[in-house]
Structure 1
Amino acid sequence: MSAHRDSFARDHLPPREQWPEFLLDRPEYRYPARLNCAVELLDRNLERGRGEHPALVTPQETLSYAQLADRVDRIARVLVDRLGLVPGNRVLLRSANNAWMVAAYFAVLKAGGIVVATMPLLRAKELSQVLRKARISHALCDARLAEELRKAEAPDLRHLVCWGDGELEGMVAQAAPGFPACDTAADDICLIGFTSGSTGEPKGTLHFHRDMLAICDGYGMQVLRPQASDVFIGSPPLAFTFGLGGLVLFPFRVGATAVLLERAPPEDLPAAIARYRATVCFTAPTAYRIMAGLAGRHDLSSLRKSVSAGEALPKPIFDSWQVATGLKLMDGIGATEMLHIFISAPEEAIRPGATGLPVPGYVARVVDEAGAEVPRGTIGRLAVKGPTGCRYLDDPRQAQYVQHGWNITGDTYIQDADGYFWYQARNDDMIISAGYNIAGPEVEAALLAHPAVAECGVVGAPDAERGMVVRAYVVPKPGVVADAALAKALQDFVKAEIAPYKYPRSVVFCDALPRTETGKLQRFALRRQAEAGA
């Protein structure tokens, strides 16, 4: 029985027949019917004697598990006793990565609310879409980011409280300690994760309390294998589920320490790793490429695991990081719809260039347009199912993502004879030129192996003769002359690296590439440029 008195989110789940099949038979995914993930991820560390161990380390403050739990309880009391939160209410959180953001997150979970975390760079128009679609009733916000939120359309918002200006801090100081966790069901919704909205109105993905533990007990415990002595660090925002898992949930599940940095560009991350003696790093492939060039200037000897996700990992980046640090990058593919990584490989099973194998508890296959599995070595659409899966908030696109019980992620893959999955492209990033199927990321990987290339993005450009041609947008390394001779050299280099028909017939040099807040290359923006002839 649900603990939610406000049933809006549950009422707007997709029909059961549109849900994916969930695989929950493995012992590690069998959770009790009543479950509050904040208790399991935070309070259990106090019971295990980890209360004095550092939970969060930031440039501003360090909080032990006991101190964090106290702040969480007091914020929960503010939410319930002063702001009238009832279980099932949606609470928008808006902040960079800091201790108050984590405390607010767990306070909402513990009180039985539903977290809706938003990227710090979103503007009023984008926030309005989230506020309206999720019927947000409460918001907790870093005061530095409140202006856009106040300008947004929020017809259901009753309370907006900020920290950083003393408002929430004052309420917390007056609140009584201790808070009894809401008796939520394991399948009560606790998180609405919104997708980036790059293809239209953002989609809200609904996740249960048990889902938060499933990603810890799946990818976390069986592939990443963290230890209580680990110190996690990274760049992804906590509003991005890759960051939530990698910088909070995985360390908390084992009682480890998380370092949170409000800004963690790749130019600064190596110094932070050295300063905090971090052992596990989460960031995007592009960041690892830059960091590899800086590795010799910093003591990175504390690192023992490096996780790459958010976009495809080109083999040249894998190789450069291994040369620089001696570490194999742990590639992985996840999705907001799946909550976190579902295909990866532990260090001993990594094959450079491959994404990896299904995380234990998940199954994956490559299928054709009709949903039938294709022979190994054949290109097709990735389909996956496991203990987590897609449930959109009141969205007809549910029927596109879930087909015949499988989550269809929108990625094109090949599975080899040994079961490893090899990324080709997003489904809409395949370039069809004169009848050939060409994967843009494969061409990007070839270009990145050239010593003159700092970054690149490859898309299809309209062409009267071939339908499309491969166009490469290239950021040269500092000091490199970007001219016709370099374009020709890059084209010849690609012809020698991969099948010659895949080479970029058009090379455009630029100063920077369009990227999302999480570091993903915005190929759709490059496609628009190509369509406009730019």
Structure 2
Amino acid sequence: MLLPSRYQDAFSRNALPPLALWPELAFDLPGLRFPDLLNCADELLLTGTAIAGDDALAIVSDREALTYAELNGRVNRIARVLRDDCGLQSGERVLLRGSNTPGLLAAWLAVVKAGGIAVTTMPMLRAGELGKIIAIARPRLALCEQALAGELRPCLGAAGFERIVEYGGADAELEQLAGTKSPEFPAFPASQDDVCLIAFTSGTTGQPKAAMHFHRDVLAICRTFAEHRLPRCERPVFSGTPPLGFTFGLGALLLFPLFFGGTVALPAPTGPQQLAEAVRRFGITHLFTSPTAYRAMLEGENLSLPSLKVAVAAGEHLPADTALAWKAATGLDLLNGLGATEMLHIFLSTEAGAASNGGLGTPVPGFTAALFDAAGAMIDGPGEGRLGIRGPVGCRYLNDARQSDYVVNGWNITGDIFRRDADGCYSFVSRADDIIVSSGYNIAAVEVEQAVLRHPDVQECAVLGIPDPKRGKVVKALIVPKPGVDPGDALALQIQNFVKNTIAPYKYPRAIEFVAALPRTVTGKISRNISAN
């Protein structure tokens, strides 16, 4: 049963799926009891400040550093801008667009503390992709980094989207407005089960799905994965590469550091091999990135990382040879984790200091895992099947019929095939759909096909994932060119650049093969399975 919402804007409460389609939730751990009124941003800021102290570093980047006192002041000033200058009503969605900077972290906290719902987007998304998100989440307002506003401006006027407030420069509107505000702001008293964030994922169609999470969910992942899987140490420093638009990055670079009273280090984006230098420069203790990045770091000359206490790998399958090579080079075992946007963060992982060899260990305390066969029957003991998860958080799509695909008989069915051994440890077998996981990014094959097919010289296209030693998989396009078109390297490069400018650049086909015809099923549909072979 839901508590009464405290929000003025009822959009998110009305968009929740029927309770009958929710997963069963479990709050068995002692730390998973929450007060009726709860603002997770305020709670985490209070927790971090109490542990670290006002003068301790909260966020540090190559350009600026914020103490906990300064972070609290900035968050409160932005919250006042949202309420006083932007007319934010509680329960309104606010789109956030920016790279991983202190400004984006402060903006997220301010939106939630003021009673808004944070809709954080990937910085690489193009206008068309942002438009889909806006059509679903219906934000009236966006806080956007100046350098990234170009792709967002074409969306103004659509689906009630009215205003962009830019930040990230001395002359930016948000900084100008915030500079006039008081550094004090009373947190909005939300209900524990009011929505505080909407996170987007993509299915095999490329149509985004919006997962809604409550204030209590944010604290639940801190009190499960962070509390029980991440080691504590004096003066922890968190860092990593996932964008805040990924819930993996939200936890790693904002929620967990505050929960631990630690520091977030945000080095300028560079290649994975420069990540090792950043670990040494900032004294990073808790590192979060993809197996692809760890493989790239292994190619560097210096992997001496004396400050590092734990290295978390997630976002894609961790090959055993990568786990073993990392252990040999650094003396540390990778903490291998599996999470999902629908589950907010990691629910299955190895333990810090335990050898993973590519396996995913056991359910995080607070969660239960099960395997199901093709008929939906639960598998007892060792076996292989579709993974189901229960815990204190779960899937709640925003007005989406696919809710009944993800939640079956109270279980969150992730779409992954797993194997469980006699000790109850789980290992990944494969995805159950046509998502291509490349360098930790989920890429819908159909969405890439649609982008390729918009090129004027392309007749037909099939997209699939092929194994790659560095990225796990890469996107490959099998293309039938139009008659009379020369299928050479020049055309391949043109198509790659065309796709980069049509959808997010990381989705482009790194491999292109021109073919005379595409294989088809007996019904005439293009067969990716045959194409892959």
TM range (shorter): 0.7 to 0.9
Distance 2:356 2:340 in 1: 22
Pairwise mapping of residues 181-260 of structure 1 onto structure 2 (< 5 A)? 181-197=187-203, 199-260=205-266
Structure 2 partner of 1:116: 119
Distance (whole Å) between structure 2 residues aligned to residue 364 and residue 297 of structure 1:
39
Q: Which of these residues, 417, 420, 429, is aligned with residue 415 of structure 1? A: 420
Hey, what does 1:138 align to over in structure 2?
141
80, 85, 97: which is aligned to 2:100? 97
Match of 1:160 among 138, 161, 164: 164
Name the CA distance, whole Å, in 2 between partners of 1:314 and 1:95: 31
Q: Distance in 1 between the 2:22 and 2:374 partners?
A: 19
Give 1:261's match in structure 2, choosing from 240, 264, 267.
Answer: 267
Distance in 1 (CA, whole Å) between partners of 2:466 and 2:433 is 16
Deviation at 1:39, TM superposition (A): 1.2
Deviation at residue 34 of structure 1 after TM alignment? 0.8
The aligned counterpart of 2:479 is none
Q: Which residue does 1:174 correspond to in 2?
A: 180
Query: 2:151 aligns to what SS in structure 1?
Result: helix
1:360-399 Cα distance to aligned partner (Å, 9 max, x none): 0100011113332114332210000100100000000000
Shift of 1:177: 2.0
Kindly tell me: are residues 474 and 248 of structure 1, through their superposed partners in 2, closer, same or farther at Cα, counting changes over 3 Å? closer
Tell me the amino acid that sits aligned with residue 394 of structure 1: N
- Cα offset for 1:109? 0.6
Please give the alpha-carbon distance, in whole angstroms, between the structure 2 residues aligned to 1:322 and 1:520: 31
- Name the residue aligned to 2:488: none
In the superposition, the TM-score normalised over structure 1's length comes to: 0.81
* Counterpart check, 1:71 vs 2:74: yes
Q: Which residue number in structure 2 is paired with residue 336 of structure 1?
A: 341
1:404 aligned partner: 409
Shift of 1:299: 3.5
Check if 1:383 corresponds to 2:388: yes
Q: CA, structure 1 residues 225+31, in 2 after alignment: closer, same or farther (shift >3 Å)?
A: farther
Paired letter, 1:380: G
- Which of 345, 370, 393 is equivalent to 1:365? 370
The aligned amino acid for 1:91 is V
The alpha carbon displacement at 1:428 in A equals 2.6
- Asked whether the equivalents of residues 58 and 71 of structure 2 are also in contact (C-alpha less than 8 Å), the reply is yes
Change in 2 beyond 3 A, CA 1:41/1:359: same
Cα separation, partners in 2 of 1:28 and 1:303, compared to 1, 3 Å = same
Q: Specify the SS of the correspondent of 1:407.
A: strand
Cα shift at 1:519? 8.0
Taking the aligned partners of 1:524 and 1:332, their CA distance within structure 2 comes to 29
Q: Which amino acid aligns with 1:191?
A: L
Q: Give the superposition deviation at 1:350.
A: 3.9
Q: Shift of residue 293 of structure 1? A: 1.9
What's the counterpart of residue 326 of structure 2?
321
Alpha carbons of structure 1 residues 84 and 291: separation in structure 2 relative to 1, 3 Å? same
Alpha-carbon offset, residue 292 of structure 1: 1.3
Structure-2 change in CA distance of 1:285 and 1:193 (3 Å) = same
Partners of 2:283 and 2:532 lie apart in 1 by 48
The aligned counterpart of 1:270 is 276
Q: 1:163 to 1:424 in 2, by over 3 A?
A: same
Letter aligned with residue 167 of structure 2: W
Q: Residue 48 of structure 1: CA displacement?
A: 4.5
Structure 2 residue 12 is the aligned partner of structure 1 residue 6: no
**Alignment partner, residue 283 of structure 1:** 289
Q: Which residue of 2 aligns with 1:107?
A: 110
**What SS class does the counterpart of residue 379 from structure 2 fall into?**
coil
Q: Give the 3 Å change call, closer, same or farther, for CA 471–386 of structure 1 in structure 2.
A: closer
* Cα distance in 2 for residues equivalent to 1:328 and 1:272: 19
Residue 361 of structure 2 aligns with which residue? 356
Quick one: which of 287, 290, 308 aligns to 1:303?
308
Q: Deviations over 1:468-525 (max 9, x none)?
A: xx99555699xxxxxxxxxxxxxxxxxxxxxxxxxxxxxxxx999x999898999999
CA contact (8 A) 2:290 2:315 kept: yes
1:321-341 Cα offsets, whole Å, 9 max, x none, are 111101100001000000000
- List per-residue Cα deviations over 1:256-285 (Å, max 9, x = no partner): 011113414312211111111111110000
Asked if 1 retains the 8 angstrom alpha-carbon contact of 2:276 and 2:303, the reply is yes
Secondary structure of the 2:278 match is helix
Could you tell me which amino acid in structure 1 is paired with residue 282 of structure 2? Y
Q: Are residues 1:24 and 2:27 paired?
A: yes
1:297-324 CA distance string (max 9 Å, x none): 2541111110000011110100111111
Instruction: Label 1:125 to 1:525 Cα distance change in 2 as closer, same or farther (>3 A).
Output: farther
How far apart, CA to CA, are the structure 2 residues paired with 1:525 and 1:257?
A: 43
Moved more, 315-324 or 227-236: 227-236
Q: Distance in 2 between matches of 1:425 and 1:520?
A: 20
User: What 5-or-longer segments of structure 2 have no aligned partner?
Assistant: 446-463, 472-491, 514-525
Answer yes or no: is the 8 Å Cα contact 2:238–2:284 preserved in 1.
yes
Instruction: Report percent identity of matched pairs.
Output: 45
* Structure 2 counterpart SS, 1:174: coil
* Cα offset, 1:157, TM superposition: 1.8
Which one is further off, 160-169 or 256-265? 256-265
